Amino acid sequence: MALVEITPSSHDVEIDLAYAGADNFTGRPVYRRAACYLHADAERLLGRAVDLAAAQGFRLKIFDAFRPTEAQWVLWNHTPDPRFLADPRRGSPHSRGVAVDLTLVDGDGRELEMGTRFDAFTPHSHHGSTAVPPQAQGRRCLLLGLMTAAGWDFYGNEWWHYQLFDSRRYPLLDDADLPEGMM
């Protein structure tokens, strides 16, 4: 397995895993243990994005990265909406370790306003939505530019979601594939 643990000290990012606590759309913790992992290929691109953000005076804050297949089922069983969640029968890029959900924070660690919260399952969450304030649109464009310049693909319905191109070539991974489980 080629998953790399992502930590604030090793990657100069902030981590606030939404599914490790109850402040997410399910209303309860999904992960028993908060840990952030990415496939080694994605970890390299994350490093590029961190450097590009730093050059602009920003840092990245990660809401989710590798998501065991078991967790994808929990999310899907709660809200089976293919516009915002991958059907676990097909597999999610998160469950392959090649997707990351994130935002930008300023030098004081404050999240930049992006017009919606993470996991706001509405059309307002779409990249290019003009229903959010112009300043939020600009910040989304900044994040999109940083991430695409670093080599990431994006998902049009979620301003926070980035994944590797051709993500399906990576195998699906379960909680048992981790050195210490998250579920």
How many other CB atoms are there within 10 angstroms of residue 128's CB atom? 11
Q: Answer left, alpha or beta for residue 128, where phi above 0 means left and psi between -120 and 50 means alpha.
A: left
Could you confirm whether 158 is annotated as catalytic?
A: yes
Residue 45 exposed, middle or buried by CB count within 10 Å (0-12, 13-18, 19+): buried
Give the active site residue among 5, 14, 113, 158.
158
Give yes or no for a contact between 109 and 52, defined as CB atoms under 8 angstroms apart.
no
CA distance 142 to 65: 20
Q: Which residues are catalytic?
A: 158
